[in-house]
Chain A
Amino acid sequence: MGFDALLSAAAEVASGGSFLYLLAGILLGLCFGVIPGLGGTTALALLIPVTFGMDKLDAMYLAGGVMGATSFGGSITAILLNTPGTAPNAATTFDGYPLARQGKGGLAIGAAACASAMGGVIGLFTLILFIPLAKEIVLSFGPAEFFLLTVLGLTAIAVSVRGKLLRGLIAGCLGLMLAFVGSDAITGDLRFTGGVNYLWDGIPLVPTLTGMFAISQMMELALKGGSVADKNGEVRAERIEISGVWDGVLSVFKNWTVLLRGSFIGTVIGAIPGLGGTVASFLAYSSVVQTAKDPETYGKGNIRGVIAPESANNAKDGGSLIPTVAFGIPGSAETALFLGILVLHGIDPGPSILLYHEREIYGLIVAITGAAVGASLIGLLLSRFLVLITRVDVGIVVPVVVAVSLTGVYVLDGRMADVLLTVVMGVIGYLMIRFDYPRLTLVIALVLGETAEKSFHQVQLISDGHALEFMMARPVSMLLIVATLLTFLLPIGRKMLEGARRRRATTGGL
């Protein structure tokens, strides 16, 4: 059943119009990925209103193309300019840039392209394995599990911000406060609306996301000035050589164990709400270094140091679709935006989506796989030109992005209040960047807050007021409680691990 659906979805993508949307998504994703500061989140935030008039599958191909392509686009900048194009590419700079300085930039880009494509394919196949179990998964996740899942998600996000646990918690609480504005989902009571009708339905997601990610990033760029590549003066002067790409592609298959490990870590991390590409790629990188026979060669231009994070980074897209689509709990900023697109097109993410929106889900899987592979192919052909994008003056980038995103938000519902909210959220987002508070935590808390509150209320009613006993008696619930406790202990464990690695690194250096 699943395979047939997959084939028909593939046929649908291959047919004319859909393919063009996928291609447009890939090109857009590559451009946004290459420019540091602009990433998949900005691209998707811009796209949400644009997809409004489209067929829902076309919208998904467009969004899928962007999601699959940004991470490879970002790796080009990471390798050639030592600046990660998107946050998850940071781990790629460790070995990618040294390779580029040794004149092996082509090798690194080839490896990154192939690892991205393969990672994406492996991640999605893992997802397909889960779909036949959809009904069992759906039936074992009731309100109790939902409540605990949101708690786990919020915990995971708070601790995933390295060394900034308190700041993460502050941003998360702010997000929760915003989530409780509007009418109560169960009783219908109005809360914190201050007599403003606009707030009855709560703080709308799309203007918040657009403000937080697109507008605030533009303010940051505008205030810095110049062009993105400016701070890399040394590279700017050089002529960018790209050769040895094919050797890079082959190197991925030679190091297939690294590829599999990276993809596996990516899929698992992706499936846990709140973690995301950055965590996945760092974890993949550090896991490969820790188990390597020659750890001292990493950081100096070891090709495996490029393969691991890049495969993890793309594999996480497949994994993150599970919580996003099946439970409406986004795993990352990108999937939070993607959720926005689904809702806009009348697909309400939740337990039933895997059962009743098979066509859309398989369409999406094909779109993201196609995008991961397509982006790598197109990216390889265009990489030389894509780098030039980083030379564009921000004086041109900023006004265009701001104008397009604000117009988009207005067009969506025709409400000026949405535009105002976008600007307000943009300012808050900028302040959060300046004072180093994680924006993602706020946004995820805003998304999860309503679910958390509502499902807790439901559990209270279902269990006749004995919520705790009710949850303790359910196996999946118990598992989630344990997982939440473990997540709290994770930062401590990681700190100890880092200490051990540092000791090993110093001895290795001697």
Chain B
Amino acid sequence: MNVSIKAGVAALAIALAGPALAEYPEKPVTFVVPYGAGGGFDTIARTFAPEVEKTLGQTVVPENIKGASGTRGGQAVARAKPDGYTIGIYNIPGLTVAETLGRDIGFSLNEVTWIANLAESKYAVAVKGDSEINSLEDLCALGHPIKLSDTGKDSTSSITAVIAFDILGCEIVNITGYGGSNDTMIAVMRGEVDATLKPITSLAKYTETGDLKLIATLTDETVVEGVQTTSELGHPELAKFGLNRVVGGPPNMPADVVAKLAEAFRNAAESDEIKTWADGTGTELRYLNAEDTKAMMGDLSKFYLQFKDKLQ
């Protein structure tokens, strides 16, 4: 009932706004998720969909097109008509890095019509809870290459670890192949690796129990009380690393459709439902409009390009 009133109001607002906007949307919108059901990208897409519907007044249908490291979904969006009825969520900087390294991802990030940035996770370095290591300095002074645990060589956290520790001037051995991010953190608890670099939110459940201890966050400002930031340590460039959940569409989407979608995502991001969900799950919401998202994508490309040699 409440929903239909809101939808009615929204429809009225669209009608008043002018004929161009009244055209869109008149049928359900497909929201492509390039990973399987149940993952981080799937969850955020499925959580946003009903909120976005409230502004659009049309159903938003998440569709999982997984495979090929998330590129198959991106390709499906790139091939769709730029009419606003097919949009997708993108793994950034995973795709940015792949493209920077010259891998064929089947479409061009440069041509994607960026609509909004929904969330951003920042990283931290954690060691075992009862470890004598208390800072990055201690960690680098171990006297042997630091062993880190990670899922895959191409994962965003793995790439971040390789670049970040290079900037810090510490030699690392990145031991990949762990089943999921939980397993990488348990590897630190077992003591088979020295540390791990993971999103702050993922580390939280282990630091709360005291099983793990944060020694630094890759941020500008203090996120966790008493934990150094890399900017304080004199490496402000490390705060650029993060994991973004970005919404985009096929190349050359009409500006009014983009504006309409961006507004719908902004309303969703500001809704109580999404805020409650984000608090409960530790998701760091960071809404950016279409223009800012595009600028961010350009910056990230340039940022990762300078590390091209280290990643090959």
Binding site for B on A (CB under 8 A): 52, 56, 138-139, 142-143, 185-188, 197, 200-201, 328, 344-348, 350-352, 355-356, 413-415, 454-455, 457-458, 461-462
Contact = CB atoms under 8 A, between A and B. Distances in A.
Residue of B66, B147, B178, B189 with highest tally of chain A CB at under 10 A: B178
Interface stretch (B21-29, B169-177, B256-264): B169-177
Contact of A142 (B37, B67, B176, B187): B187
Nearest to A350: B179
Given A197-B68, A352-B182, A462 B38 contact: no
B192 A351 contact: no
Nearest to A351: B186
Contacts of A139: 186, 189-190
Would you call the interface of chain A mostly helix, strand, loop, or mixed? helix
23 contacts: A142-B187, A143-B192, A185-B152, A185-B176, A186-B153, A187-B153, A188-B152, A201-B67, A201-B68, A328-B179, A345-B38, A346-B38, A350-B180, A352-B180, A356-B205, A413-B66, A415-B67, A454-B177, A458-B175, A461-B147, A461-B173, A462-B192, A462-B193
Contact of B68 (A143, A200, A328): A200
Given A143-B192, A201-B67, A188 B186 contact: no
B148 to A, nearest CB: 10
A457 B174 CA distance: 12
Given A350-B183, A462-B192, A185 B177 contact: yes
Contact of A462 (B65, B153, B175, B180): B175
B124 to A, nearest CB: 19
Contact of B182 (A186, A356, A414, A462): A356
The 6 closest A-B pairs by CB, nearest first: A346-B38, A352-B182, A454-B177, A350-B179, A185-B177, A186-B177
Nearest to B189: A139
B69 to A, nearest CB: 9
A346 B152 contact: no
The residue among B66, B68, B147, B186 with the most chain A CB atoms within 10 A of its own CB is B186
A351 B183 contact: yes
B154 interface: yes
B143 interface: no
Contacts of A188: 152-154
A350 B186 CA distance: 11
A458 to B, nearest CB: 5
B50 interface: no
A430 B177 CA distance: 34
B39 interface: yes
Contact of B37 (A186, A345, A462): A345
A457 B153 CA distance: 13
Contacts of A457: 177
B82 interface: no
A356 B186 CA distance: 12
Contacts of A355: 182
Contacts of A197: 68
Contact of B36 (A138, A346, A414): A346
B39 A346 contact: yes
A185 B187 CA distance: 17
A352 B38 contact: no
User: Could you say which of A139, A188, A200, A462 has the most chain B C-beta atoms within 10 Å of its C-beta?
Assistant: A462
A457 B193 CA distance: 14
A462 B187 CA distance: 11
Contacts of A352: 180, 182-183, 186
Nearest to A201: B67
Contacts of B190: 139, 142
A461 B183 CA distance: 17
Interface in B132-162: 147, 152-154
Nearest to A140: B190
From B153, B189, B205, name the one whose CB has the most chain A CB atoms within 10 angstroms.
B153
Nearest to A415: B67
A186 to B, nearest CB: 5
A461 B175 contact: yes
